[in-house]
Amino acid sequence: MTVKKSISARQLWWLVIAVAVIWFANLEYRKLIKPDEGRYAEIPREMVASDDWVTPRLNDLKYFEKPPLQYWATATAYQIFGEHQWTSRLWAGLTGFAGILLVWFAGLRLFGREAALYAAILLGSSMLYVMMGHINTLDMGVTFFLTLGIVSLLLAQHETAAKKQRNWMILSWAALGLAVLSKGLMGLVLPGAALFIYMVVQRDFSVLKRMHWLPGLAIFLLITAPWFYLVMKANPEFFQFFFIHEHFERFTTKVHGRYQPWYYFVPILLLGMLPWTLLMLATLFKTSRDKRLPGIFNPARFLLIWAVFIYLFFSVSDSKLPSYLLPMFPALALLMGKQLVDMDARRLFWLIAPVLPLMLLALGFAPFTARLADTPLQVQGYGEYAWWLTAAALIWLLGVVVALVLLRSSNAVKQYKLAAVLLLAFSSLIAAQLGSSGYNTIAKERSAYYIAAAIRPYVKASEPFYSVDMYEQTLPFYLKRTFTLVQFQDEMAFGIVQEPQRYIPDYTSFAKVWQAQAAALAIMPVDTYTRLKQLDFAMKIIYEDPQYIVVSKP
């Protein structure tokens, strides 16, 4: 039975609507989690407050680690819909969902309708992709534009009509420009390197003749150059920090403190691709063995090289985070969708069956999540989180079981393959959403929402607020204000060097400033409060929890 007979256009629309409802349902539910969600919610808020859309600032200090595209998008959402948790996550959610639609469209043009549907289903239910589509970081946005860039390149090479080929290439150059504005030079370097490797492996350099260099570079520079010009004009120090420190040193040194061994990404990829991990491995093996066709552009081979290159590139880097692998996932989904078309149900059964004991293991361990806690606050939060994880594991387990039963059916096995994939995909998507929503149970440890709610009556815009020995990334967003840092720099060290007047370097200097204030507030870790009391600081506690204390002038 073909996909055309098994799913109509109307059913496809209902499928898209169902996925969209599940996908966007919990953007507001969870409290912002430090550090990333607080940081990337706060920078756009300060853009709106200052009306300066050229120089990004974090806690009112220059912050040049990343370009501004996501800040602009989020700031625009704030202006239209207001400053909420869901608007801070909207860009990640939208680009993640759009990435699923993009994979469907690319699969449709490159590999056919059935492969396109499978590819979109697989991407929208892969664990890491779903989770990163609901967390406020920059990785989903850059993944979307990188995918748009390489997909447009593939479609351009696929076209024979000169005008259509040029249009696709211009779109590719534009997408890469937006990728650069999303997360820096990786938006151009990674696709360029992957294309070079492809040409060497395939012994096909004719691609260079179809790149439409002049209009492509023109549109690329038109998108990227204005902001870089304006930000360097306003901030001469930008060039050294952004291009040298944030790119060259990030990749070649341990300066960012994110060093991990070379095998760090092995479990990230294997777990992040669940429940399609074995299908991915089988697809990589099968695609790598496909015969090379000289003189013919091979989109599957390019997607394979892209995925492998992304993995190896970040594996040798001295800076590693799980989300760095995200640009692999759309390419892998397209390859897996292509493989699924010709794969019989029994073969797919054996590629999914090993997930069953894994789900049983997850279901068995989920009720004991609280045993991972290290503090009393964690014991309470993890105990509540266990219920969410148990529900997620149970739904996922049921999805695996039903899918395996359908794939083993002796009647119309081929007919049930799509149904099995859909059921497993929906159970995976729902399980991922339950797991991420349940993380809200430990928000008291990972979010300042409750601190802000408790101290808001004491906070006045005209009175100073100090952050001593710490910076709680989510608190500025919830209080709608910035802080004066005391004896703490971390990622704001560069901004402090540029504007040292916004910083207090030690307790002695802080004592003088504190005593001179008629009214002021300060937040600090519990042990810092003990040290300041020993130094005879006059403080009145207005909020206290196991981590932080907020004080006012008595």
> What are the pLDDT tens digits along the chain (554 aa)?
344 446 788 889 999 999 999 999 999 999 999 999 999 999 999 999 999 999 999 999 999 999 999 999 999 999 999 999 999 999 999 999 999 999 999 999 999 999 999 999 999 999 999 999 999 999 999 999 999 999 999 999 988 888 999 999 999 999 999 999 999 999 999 999 999 999 999 888 989 999 999 999 999 999 999 999 999 999 999 988 888 877 666 655 555 555 678 889 999 999 999 999 999 999 999 999 887 666 678 999 999 999 999 999 999 887 789 999 999 999 999 999 999 999 988 899 999 999 999 999 999 999 998 888 888 788 888 999 999 999 999 999 999 999 999 998 755 456 789 999 999 999 999 999 999 999 999 888 899 999 999 999 999 999 999 999 999 999 999 999 999 999 999 999 999 999 999 999 999 999 999 999 999 999 999 999 999 999 989 999 999 999 999 999 99
CA–CA separation, 382 and 364 (whole Å): 16
Amino acid of residue 349: F
- Amino acid identity of residue 488, one-letter, is F
Distance between start and end Cα atoms, the chain: 77
| Burial bucket for residue 318 (CB in 10 Å: 0-12, 13-18, 19+) | middle
Cα–Cα distance between 89 and 520 in angstroms, integer?
A: 32
Checking DSSP bridges between strand 61-62 and strand 465-468, what pairing results, if any?
Answer: unpaired
Query: Residue 39, by phi and psi: left (phi above 0), alpha (psi -120 to 50) or beta?
Result: alpha
Beta-sheet pairing, 548-552 with 465-468:
unpaired
Beta-carbon contacts of residue 192 (< 8 Å; ≥ 6 apart): none
Peptide bond into 56 cis (omega under 30): no
Q: Model's pTM, two decimal places?
A: 0.94
Domain boundaries, the chain: 64-343, 449-552
